[in-house]
Amino acid sequence: MPAPGTDGTAMDRQACTRLDAQDPLAGVRACFSVPAGSIYLDGNSLGALQPAVTRRVRAALDEWGDGLIRSWNDARWVDLPQRVATRLAPLLGARPDEVAVTDSTSVNLFKVLLAARRLRPDRRVILTDASDFPTDRYVAGGVADLAGCEVRTVARDAVVDAIDETVAVVALTHVDYRTGAVHDAEAVGAAARAAGALTCWDLSHSTGALVVDLASWGADVAVGCTYKYLSGGPGAPAYLYVARRHHEGVESPIRGWFGHAAPFDFDDRYVPGCGADRFLAGTPAVLSLAALDAALGVWDGIARSEVEAKARALTETFVELVGTRCEGLGLELASPRDPACRGAQVSLRHPQAHAIMQALIGRGVIGDFRPPDLLRFGFAPLYVRHVDVWDAVDALADLLVTGDWDRPEHHERRTVT
């Protein structure tokens, strides 16, 4: 896809329509039900629904209602986690036995981070960066307390240089949830390998937006959520990854029966299951897994590189249009200027970000606010169009020029967005 505006002319709505016409992923939008009148730029928080998911969840309810307990076998609920892991693995650059789909990202992070730390028992440090997502930092602190080690937190740009022989695990969020800045995973992986440290990636804002390739990164363990770019639905089960080279020695700190090699033998002795499956703990969340399984169907035949290229094109269009249409209106780009250094999101700084976002949402442009001063916009590559980007910036520019955002109701604080 050509970079917008490279011919020196200012972009207009028609130019956006032309970019959409050339978009190889344009047809995929029809698989999603984006409500009419909404421009949805929050697919990085909660991905949009697909009608295929609605149908599948209805079918799963019938499997429950009609089949009752027989559906564990007849509807193959029992191996649903493995079937979903097999579908997800190619999006991670992983093999199916390296992936388990279960629990929440926070819980999975606890399990794999503690497990990874135990693979390096003679080292005292979990290294992370100051911009890591709060749950990741909380969990790392808890793991450190349990495992008798410490969390060392450094600035984002200082991570690679801070990796030394004291580090057991480098635990990072690949794409910064606030700014969209991306870590150089290969550089971190190489530095970790050289120092004998392990890497633990949180891919929540990466998978489904960028090329994730855990094999080529040399990643050791990883986690991520499926309700953002993967559109698995609110609270959808998360995933975890454990590289095959660790399957011999790695142990899950939660020895649940679903992580047992043979759960239905009801054995007195705990025997861990194969590979990443040993990190399953309890009964799978069948209804949520069914939704996720159906949601992942849309990725069949879509190349990760195509998705990343679309994300870059959309964020480029947004940054350029904000630059031209909102110049001098008090916005500041809080994301990296270079599209290769950011995920599928762009954040803008403004002291009145909260009220402006509420006003935008009132006009049908749904993004979100991150304290203290960020307007955050996500560009889910499968269903956001360039023309949506145009319309969103048009609304934003109009609000800022007219001052129409500054109304009492826009200043009220809500719990989410």
Binding site for ligand PLP (CB under 6 A): 104-106, 133, 135-136, 173, 177, 202, 204-205, 225, 238
The DSSP bridge partners found for residue 102 are 238
Residue 110 is among the residues annotated as catalytic for this protein:
no
Residue 2 CB, shortest distance to ligand PLP, in Å, is 31
The set of residues, in sequence order, having a beta carbon less than 8 Å from that of 3 and lying 6+ positions away, is 313, 316
Question: 3-state DSSP call for residue 241?
Answer: strand
Q: Which of 23, 129, 132, 202 is catalytic?
A: 202
Distance (Å, whole) CA 265 – CA 280: 16
| Closer Cβ to ligand PLP, 77 or 110, answer by number | 110
Minimum distance between the CB of residue 106 and ligand PLP, rounded to whole angstroms?
A: 3
Q: Whole-number minimum distance, CB 398 to ligand PLP, in Å?
A: 31
Question: From the CB of 204, what's the least distance to ligand PLP, in Å?
Answer: 3
Clarify whether 379 is annotated catalytic. Answer: no
Closest CB to ligand PLP among residues 50, 204: 204
Amino acid at 246: H
Q: Give catalytic status of residue 13 as yes or no.
A: no
Question: Which residue, 379 or 390, is less far from ligand PLP as judged by CB?
Answer: 379
- Closer CB to ligand PLP, 133 or 258, in the complex: 133
Name the catalytic one among 87, 111, 152, 228: 228
Alpha carbon distance 254, 245 (integer Å): 21
SS3 377: strand
> Could you tell me if 210 and 344 are in contact, meaning their C-beta atoms sit under 8 angstroms apart?
yes
- CB neighbour list of residue 155: distance below 8 Å, 6 or more residues apart: 129, 130
> 3-class DSSP state for residue 270?
coil
Q: Are strands 345-349 and 374-378 parallel, antiparallel or unpaired?
A: antiparallel
**Shortest Å, Cβ 157 to ligand PLP:** 18
Q: Which of 40, 110, 227, 318 is catalytic?
A: 227
Q: Which is nearer to ligand PLP, 104 or 352 (CB)?
A: 104
Say whether 202 is catalytic: yes
Any idea which residues carry the catalytic annotation? 133, 202, 227-228, 376
